[in-house]
Amino acid sequence: MDIIATTLQGRVRGRVEESIASYRGIPYAAAPFGIHRFRAPAPVEPWEGIRDALEFGPTAPQRPYRPPLDRLIPDVDIPGEECLNLNVWAPRGAGEPLPVLVWIHGGSLRNGSAAMPLYDGRAFARDGVVLVSVNYRLGVEGFGVFPDAPDNRGLLDQIAALVWVRDNIAGFGGDPGCVTVCGESAGAISIAALLTSPRAAGLFHRAVLQSGPPHTVTRAEGARTVRAMAKALRVPATAEEFAGVDRERLLDVQDALVGRADPVSGGPGFHLVVDDDVVPADPPPSSVDLLLGCNREEYRLWFVPSGALDRVNRLTLRLALLRFRIPGRVARLYRAGRPGAKPGVILGEMATDLLLRGPLNRLADSRLADPRLEDARTAGSRTVRTYVYEFAWRSPVLGLGACHALEIGFVFDNLRHGEALSGPDAPQPLADVMHRAWVDFATSGDPGWAAWDARRPVRVFDHPGTSTVLAPRQEELRAWL
């Protein structure tokens, strides 16, 4: 059955199935091409009549993941220029305005889309949360650093989508005063920047960071990938010149330079940059409640399918320690805690803690120690809460274990579309528990366990036996300080 909703830009037609209304491909900004290419997002031109929102809209230009990741994380490619669009799932006929969860996908700022079946929002809508998923510009279009274009354009797209939510979500049954932003990997890194951005102030009220810590670079560092692409294209490193390059050629060169890079082994890529406008260098503390965490064996998504886990030997481990300036005492501590482990496991465990678990723990600690937040508490403002989790269930697929991105199917209560990573027999009871925690956090700000304090409580999601553990593996985390 069709259903009509009204936005400031015009009316849209969605579809109702099993009491869930879904609207797909609604534009929240103008197509970022032609006169809008490499520019900040521009407003959508209003339309007359009723616009169909029955199919997913175009996805941001990108190349798929390279094998073997393309089989584990299959991208969706929908052609078209109107790629700044979003999707909404909401229960039909809800009475009071419902909490809203805005999903920002990951993909190293160069891959992914809101059209992936894994991100279907039906389970959230079923449980009383309006789910909005967002497409934004990727790669050089969204995050290339140029002297003649605004920085962080993909982040500006996300902010434009949040403005759309503020202005329109009431028409879909959502509460614009109860918005939670949630993202994984690059989506979480984006949200960490949104927490600090004056442009995003007041647009959301809670935030979830899954497997992505705060991370920015300087403009000079961020421009390196553009300069390398310009050299390969034989054009000046300006937005004007890049706009004149055939889009497929641009994607080919981009893929050749960054397609093999990953968060663990590094390599050229795209980053959020400090620009003192969208992403300030010295931001004020965020007063929104946070839910954050990572997966126990993040590194295995990259180390296992590629064979790196077995290729790393004692020599390559020592070279990696030198490259990343990891003290020998840290490596000895990790080896002592994992007797008989392969060098690749030792390196991967250290990389997970160095890049993810450690920074996320420090973010949680910083919210306890920040005197600016303490001043607010002393003045009678509400307590700013932080909740920390770890996903520990191990997938049997290829020996991936508790790898990066595995938790998403559990959060969305959508195991059927997560089988490439989890296999066909992933535990539904664990999805029930984890999905409920996200629903509760979006609804009330309390996911169901103790907030972060000096005891460092961490909710460990596993099956069987989800539990709260105090200060897990703190000796290893302290070794990095």
| Whole-structure pTM value | 0.96
Q: Tell me which residue has tokens 């306890």.
A: 368
The values of phi and psi at residue 78, to 5°, are -120, 110
- The verdict on whether omega for the bond into residue 68 sits within 30 degrees of 0, i.e. cis, is yes
Q: What is the pLDDT of residues 368-378, one digit of tens each?
A: 977 666 555 54
The residue among 354, 355, 356, 386 whose CA lies nearest residue 369 is 386
Cβ–Cβ contacts within 10 Å for residue 267, how many? 12
**pLDDT for residue 347 is more than 90:** yes
Q: What is the pLDDT of residues 98-123, one digit of tens each?
A: 999 999 999 999 999 999 999 999 99
Domains 2-259 and 289-480 share a fold: yes
Four-residue CA torsion sign, 60, 352, 433, 469:
negative
The values of phi and psi at residue 40, to 5°, are -65, 150
**Is 349 an annotated catalytic residue?**
no
Q: How far apart are CA 90 and CA 424, in angstroms?
A: 28
Four-residue CA torsion sign, 466, 471, 477, 481:
positive
Q: Three-state SS for 144?
A: coil
The values of phi and psi at residue 6, to 5°, are -115, 130
**Is 298 an annotated catalytic residue?**
yes
Architecture of the domain delimited by 2-259: 3-Layer(aba) Sandwich (3.40)
Ranges of beta strands (E only) in 310-358 are none
Q: What is the pLDDT of residues 145-190, one digit of tens each?
A: 999 999 999 999 999 999 999 999 999 999 999 999 999 999 999 9
Cβ–Cβ contacts within 10 Å for residue 264, how many? 21
- What confidence score (pLDDT) does residue 381 get? 60
Which amino acid makes up residue 448? G
The residue among 166, 123, 118, 111 whose CA lies nearest residue 19 is 123
The CA-based diameter of the chain, rounded to the nearest angstrom, is: 68
- What confidence score (pLDDT) does residue 182 get? 98
Query: Considering 105, 205, 404, 435, which one is annotated as catalytic?
Result: 404
Give CA angle at 369 (363, 374), nearest 5°.
Answer: 120
pLDDT band at residue 75, thresholds of 50, 70 and 90? confident
- What confidence score (pLDDT) does residue 262 get? 78
List of residues 6+ apart from 32 with CB closer than 8 A: 39, 41, 81, 83, 84, 137, 141, 153, 157
Q: Three-state SS for 370?
A: coil
- What confidence score (pLDDT) does residue 248 get? 95
* Mean pLDDT computed over 91-100: 89
* Mean pLDDT computed over 400-405: 98
- What confidence score (pLDDT) does residue 379 get? 43
List of residues 6+ apart from 62 with CB closer than 8 A: 75, 77, 107, 110, 111, 112, 138, 139, 251
Q: What is the DSSP string of 127-180?
A: TT-EEEEE----HHHHH---TTS-S-HHHHHHHHHHHHHHHHGGGGTEEEEEEE
Q: Three-state SS for 73?
A: coil
The residue among 211, 256, 217, 215 whose CA lies nearest residue 233 is 256
Query: Considering 298, 349, 390, 476, which one is annotated as catalytic?
Result: 298
**Percent of the chain scored above 90 by pLDDT?**
88
pLDDT band at residue 95, thresholds of 50, 70 and 90? confident
Q: Three-state SS for 399?
A: helix
- What confidence score (pLDDT) does residue 373 get? 66
Q: How far apart are CA 60 and CA 268, in angstroms?
A: 20
**Which helix (DSSP H) or strand (DSSP E) does residue 250 occupy?**
helix 247-258
- What confidence score (pLDDT) does residue 412 get? 98
* Mean pLDDT computed over 282-292: 90
Query: Considering 22, 185, 190, 422, which one is annotated as catalytic?
Result: 185
Q: What is the pLDDT of residues 425-477, one digit of tens each?
A: 999 999 999 999 999 999 999 999 999 999 999 999 999 999 999 999 999 99
Q: Tell me which residue has tokens 């509460």.
A: 175
Question: Which CATH class for the 289-480 domain?
Answer: alpha beta
Q: Three-state SS for 227?
A: helix
* Mean pLDDT computed over 19-33: 97
* Mean pLDDT computed over 351-379: 82
CA distances from 60 to 66, 78, 210, 328, 467 (A): 17, 8, 22, 43, 39
Length of the chain in terms of residues written: 481
Burial class (CB in 10 A: 0-12, 13-18, 19+), 34: exposed
Query: CB of 232 within 8 A of CB of 256?
Result: yes
- Per-domain residue ranges for the chain? 2-259, 289-480
Q: How far apart are CA 246 and CA 324, in angstroms?
A: 37
The residue among 356, 354, 461 whose CA lies nearest residue 406 is 461
Which amino acid makes up residue 224? R
**pLDDT for residue 333 is more than 70:** yes
